Amino acid sequence: METEKLLLVSRGAEPADLVFRNAKLVNVFSNEVYLTDVAIKEDRIAGIGKGYVGVKEIDLDGKYLCPGFIDAHVHIESSMVPPREFARVVIPHGVTTVISDPHEIANVLGLEGIRFMLQDAKYGPMSMFVDAPSCVPATNMETSGSQLEFYDLATLLNNPWVIGLGEVMNYPGVVYGDRRVLQKIKVYEGKPIDGHAPGVKGKELNAYIAAGVGSDHECVDLNEAMEKLRLGMTIFIREATGAKNLDALKGLFNKDTIDRVCLCTDDRHPHDLEDDGSINYIIKSAIKAGADPLLAIKAGTINPARYFGLTDRGAIAPGRRADLIVFSDLQSPEPEMVFYGGKLAAENGKMLDWEQPTQTNKTRGTMNVRLDKLNFSIPAKSEMMRVIETIPDQLVTHHLIEKALVQDGMAIADPSRDIIKLAVVERHFGTGKVGLGFIKGFGLKQGAIAGTVAHDHHNIVVAGADDLSMELAVREIIAMQGGMVVVGPQGVLAKLPLPIAGLMSDQPIDVVRQQYDALISANKTLGSSLVDPFMALSFMALSVIPSLKLTDLGLVDVDKFELTELFV
């Protein structure tokens, strides 16, 4: 839109396209709410105050008018649908802008995957900005489908939708001056550089921040968050499906620290998105936990806009985008109407029809597995072995030493002690590599579960009570060209195909949700008590979150940041 057209409406010389009358405006600049009118011209806010006339007028009759919510850090791939379908879910919940880090698909398809995400989001009713993935692969202790160096990431700099560098997960590489990691930070110097530093403190934290990293979303307690905040970091409070940190960090919702706080969902599965929502859920939960509603809303609107330099959104002010939410209860801000660029996009929790071009975006196949190399047997080299222990609602794990159950010279699963076998099968280059270990905390009594969502390399990860079930699960995933599966004594019990890079479905999210619910139900019949075993499983292969994880190259002692032996 030409500025001259906007100014004509701003000064009252021409009628606005739309005027909201009698709105309780949520002002994130002054931290106050007051009754006023708001005038819209095309996709911009033209003016605030009485006296504007609109071609169309909506009397809000004292309802609240708030800026659209902004998700400061999300991996859209974890919703198991591509960006346009993801938008259909989050827009009704008031999320009009997301900062996506597509390092999941980039670890499978490289730059091709990033371009797929940008193209898919292009015409959707949501603004998707991208942080260029900094860790493809995340470490050298895994086999990813691609490798992006600083010169690859530099090719994205001129794209206006690429606004920063994604979470720098290789924090030891930063702290100890790894040249390849620092080159990527240097390329994006002057732009937002997101962090990933679980448990990093003291001098190592100083070094990490000194390299240029500006945020962190891995804090699990208030002391950790305050140390990082005092050193200049912006803290992203995360409420994901697998990691929930709001309760531990709710103390940050105060006037002294709130300006350095943003909200993010990181990884959120379809059932959470559909049932609870996204940033709106975090805001409502924060308010319920005692936060001032205006401070909670700031963390989900103007704060991420400021951090990422998005000066055209995040607040209701002249010249800013007309991304707006209408709701009735400040103590529980549930969107009743959502406007994206001045157009009504969702009403009463339902997405309205939004004109979009036919989907022609495709990706190549990504399942390259040496079936002749599938072997899950583990010769016992000692009586004692390392075991990964899951922690409910957290991504970190414990590093246990347990006695092995040995049969005919082989270490086998021991469901009676809740110890089952875990394997990671390389699927990108047909190397035949299979990492083997054991895991505790899944509660699986029989059968196996498997999936191609395995952060961040996204090889096939499979957990099971016996080798035959594990092999059947892997073969079924290959047949689906990626996805998730539950196998019981009678065979395949439930499955969810994910043909887009082994990460996303080409079906509507409600279909994906039904298939995912079937997986959860089938898993319970095998004895597991985990609320979301596939989210937990997907992070057991992530070699940058303490303490013990497994990749296709073997067990990773994340605290020492090195591969380690299974047997002690």
Q: Write out 471-486 in H/E/C secondary structure.
A: HHHHHHHHHCCCEEEE
pTM of this structure: 0.92
Would you state the pLDDT for residue 243? Answer: 86
Greatest Cα pair distance, the chain, in angstroms, is 88
Would you state the pLDDT for residue 396? Answer: 87
Contacts of 285 (CB under 8 A, 6+ apart): 239, 246
Residue 382 is encoded by which pair of tokens? 């000692």
> Average of pLDDT values for 62-76?
98
**pLDDT at 550 exceeding the cut of 80:** yes
Would you state the pLDDT for residue 357? Answer: 61
> Average of pLDDT values for 186-200?
96
Per residue in 241-264, pLDDT tens? Answer: 878 999 999 999 999 999 999 999
**pLDDT at 359 exceeding the cut of 70:** no
Residues 68-308: name the CATH superfamily: Metal-dependent hydrolases (3.20.20.140)
Counting Cα atoms < 13 Å in the Cβ hemisphere of 327 gives 22
Spatial separation of the C-alpha atoms in residues 442 and 79, rounded to whole Å: 22
**pLDDT at 532 exceeding the cut of 90:** no
Per residue in 12-60, pLDDT tens? Answer: 999 999 999 999 999 999 999 999 999 999 999 999 999 999 999 999 9
| Residue in the block written with tokens 């110097």 | 189
Residues in a beta bridge with 555: 550, 564
Spatial separation of the C-alpha atoms in residues 500 and 325, rounded to whole Å: 32
**pLDDT at 188 exceeding the cut of 90:** yes
509: left (phi over 0), alpha (psi -120 to 50) or beta: alpha
**pLDDT at 156 exceeding the cut of 80:** yes
- Across 95-104, 122-131, 289-298, least confident range: 122-131
Residue 155 is encoded by which pair of tokens? 């090719």
- Across 77-81, 288-292, 324-328, 357-361, least confident range: 357-361
Decide the pairing of beta strands 16-27 and 64-67.
Answer: parallel
DSSP for residue 76: G
**pLDDT at 358 exceeding the cut of 70:** no
Residue 441 is encoded by which pair of tokens? 């905390």
**pLDDT confidence of 111, banded at 50, 70, 90?**
very high
CB-CB contact of 234 with 258 (8 Å): no
CB-CB contact of 135 with 557 (8 Å): no
Spatial separation of the C-alpha atoms in residues 505 and 85, rounded to whole Å: 10
> Average of pLDDT values for 59-80?
97
Q: How far is CA 102 from CA 135, 216, 440, in A?
A: 11, 17, 30
Average pLDDT, the chain: 95
Task: Specify the 3-state DSSP secondary structure of 166.
Answer: strand
Domain boundaries along the sequence of the chain: 3-62, 68-308, 371-564
| Residue in the block written with tokens 């346009």 | 84
Decide the pairing of beta strands 234-238 and 384-390.
Answer: unpaired
Residue 126 is encoded by which pair of tokens? 């949501």
Spatial separation of the C-alpha atoms in residues 192 and 213, rounded to whole Å: 8
- Across 68-77, 87-96, 330-339, 351-360, least confident range: 351-360
Counting Cα atoms < 13 Å in the Cβ hemisphere of 204 gives 12
DSSP H or E run through 302: helix 302-307
Would you state the pLDDT for residue 348? Answer: 95
State yes or no: cis peptide before 137, omega within 30 of 0.
yes
Q: Does domain 3-62 have CATH number 2.30.40.10?
A: yes
Spatial separation of the C-alpha atoms in residues 450 and 479, rounded to whole Å: 13
**pLDDT confidence of 437, banded at 50, 70, 90?**
very high
**pLDDT confidence of 361, banded at 50, 70, 90?**
low
Spatial separation of the C-alpha atoms in residues 509 and 545, rounded to whole Å: 29
Complete DSSP assignment for 360-428? -----------GGG----EE--SSEEEEEEE-TT-S-EEEEEEE-EEETTEEE-BGGGTEEEEEEE--S
The per-residue b/e assignment along 35-47, b for 16 or more CB within 10 angstroms, e otherwise, is: ebbbbbbbbbbbb
Please return the burial class of 518, using the count of CB atoms within 10 Å of its CB with bins 0-12, 13-18 and 19+: middle
Which phi and psi angles does 181 have, rounded to 5°?
-70, -45
Spatial separation of the C-alpha atoms in residues 357 and 240, rounded to whole Å: 31
